[in-house]
């Protein structure tokens, strides 16, 4: 198998989210041999409760866990809410860290966009700590912090900033290398 | 006004939660001149989305904001999920940090219980960072980390551990002082 399946999770539920727009851009930018599927089910998850985390959890939980388990890696784009990870993203992570715990050992690349000057860097730092506690295999570099995000997309949510596109491309290449090296899959030969 | 109204929020939605049990214990332990109301609406909040955060947000959001605004201070008890704040608690905080933002400047005391050896100390650290970003007035000491929580409550969820009760009492006294000193309310004279 040389084609990698990446599941993309947006930490924002907002329809016009820059983070979701960043994931859409990633689908166009990703290296050959990688398909990126944007997951849209985070808003359907109930708030995590151990009382619901039984052998037969809510359907949205089972779907999330299955999608993560079937993916070769994840790409997460997160906004920053109160200097940390948005509740919707933490909720998805908490659900995917119990039961079959598909996040354990999973290669993950992260990015983030925010209209402010720091591009969700504190949320990403908090996310790194959380994923480290779970034992995910998080790509270290590059850090993709899309600050002043409103200046980097057009009115249709299309990424227009070349530097961001280049960083995102490097991030995806790094995720690709992480997965292939870990699974001993040879790099795709570019012809 | 000398009677203080404290709103108690549990970070766990689990019916048999030790953190909720800790808040119930606080109602018995609190100093004179303080009433503690346990808020039960966190599980009814939708996942935070800016698209829902309009002039007329969901009813559960309005109720949460009103209860926080009307309280003189908060008491939060949090478990630890993946080394950080549970999604349900982060969700409530995110909702209460926008709009009228009743968390801003609000005196808050925190505690936490977990069956492990560290009593949710990492979750509390993350919670302190989040509340600092909002500008809440968080009580610094004592740190109430109820480790090995399953050994400190009886089968009915009643706190049986004297040391924990004493720490909790100190925490509530500290919250009481914080609120009264800030609002220039004279301490209640004990007779």
- CATH number, domain of B105, equals 3.40.50.360
**What confidence tens digit (pLDDT) does each residue in A119-131 have?**
999 999 999 999 9
Q: Give the CA angle between residues A42, A45, A48 to the nearest 5°.
A: 120
pLDDT band at B56 (very low <50, low <70, confident <90, very high): very high
Determine, yes or no, domain membership for B92: yes
pLDDT band at A2 (very low <50, low <70, confident <90, very high): confident
Partner-chain contact A14 B83, CB within 8 Å: no
pLDDT in tens, A44-102: 999 999 999 999 999 999 999 999 999 999 999 999 999 999 999 999 999 999 999 99
Q: How far is CA A31 from CA A140, A158, A173, A175, in A?
A: 18, 19, 6, 10
- Label residues B39-75 b or e (16+ Cβ within 10 Å = b): beebbebbbbbbebeeeebeebbeebbebbeebbbbb
Q: Taking a contact as any Cβ pair under 8 Å apart, which residues of chain A between 108 and 127 contact chain B?
A: 126
* A158 part of contact set with chain B, CB < 8 Å: no
Domain carrying residue B86: 4-182
pLDDT reported for residue B190: 59
Alpha helix segments (H runs only) across chain A: 18-29, 59-70, 87-96, 121-134, 162-183
Domain count across chain B: 1
Q: Which of B14, B48, B81 comes nearest A86 by C-beta?
A: B48
Q: Does residue B175 form part of some domain?
A: yes
Residue B187 lies in a domain: no
Mean pLDDT for chain A overall? 95
Average pLDDT over chain B reads 95
Average confidence (pLDDT) over B133-150: 97
Q: Is the pLDDT of residue B1 over 80?
A: no
Taking an 8 Å cut-off on Cβ atoms, the answer to whether A88 and B126 are in contact is: no
Closest-CA residue of chain B to A13:
B49
pLDDT at res. B37: 98
The answer to whether residue A96 is domain-embedded is yes
Yes or no, beta carbons of A94 and B83 under 8 Å apart: no
Span between the terminal Cα atoms of chain A, in Å: 18
Say yes or no for a CB contact (<8 Å) between A84 and B97: no
Residue B191, in any domain of the structure: no
Is A191 within the bounds of a domain? Answer: no
Residue A191 has a pLDDT of 55
Across the interface, of B49, B129, B133, the residue whose CB is closest to A13 is B49
Domain contains A187: no
Q: Which residues have a Cβ under 8 Å from the Cβ of A5 and sit 6 or more positions away?
A: A35, A37, A70, A71, A72
- Helix (H) or strand (E) holding B62, with range, is helix B59-70
In a domain, A73, yes or no: yes
What CA–CA distance (Å, rounded) separates A181 from A168?
A: 20
The answer to whether the peptide bond before residue B142 is cis (omega within 30 degrees of 0) is: yes
Report, as an integer, the average pLDDT of B143-157.
96
ipTM: 0.94
Q: For a pLDDT cut of 90, what percent of chain A falls above it? A: 93
């Amino acid at each position: 198998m040389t084609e990698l399946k990446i599941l993309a999770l947006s930490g924002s539920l907002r329809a016009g989210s820059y983070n979701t727009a960043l994931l859409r851009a990633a689908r166009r930018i990703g290296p050959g041999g990688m398909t990126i599927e944007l997951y849209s089910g985070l808003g359907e998850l109930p708030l995590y409760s151990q009382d619901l985390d039984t052998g037969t959890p809510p359907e949205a939980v089972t779907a999330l866990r299955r999608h993560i388990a079937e993916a070769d890696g994840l790409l997460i784009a997160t906004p920053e809410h109160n200097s940390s990870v948005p509740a919707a993203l933490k909720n998805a992570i908490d659900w995917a860290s119990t039961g079959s715990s598909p996040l354990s050992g999973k290669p993950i690349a992260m990015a983030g966009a925010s209209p402010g000057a720091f591009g969700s860097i504190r949320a990403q730092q908090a996310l790194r700590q959380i994923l480290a506690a779970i034992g995910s295999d998080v790509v270290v570099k590059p850090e993709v912090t899309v600050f002043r995000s409103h200046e980097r997309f057009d009115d249709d949510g299309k990424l227009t900033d070349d530097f961001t596109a280049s960083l995102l491309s490097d991030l995806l290449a790094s995720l690709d290398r992480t997965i292939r090296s870990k699974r001993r899959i040879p790099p795709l030969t570019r012809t």
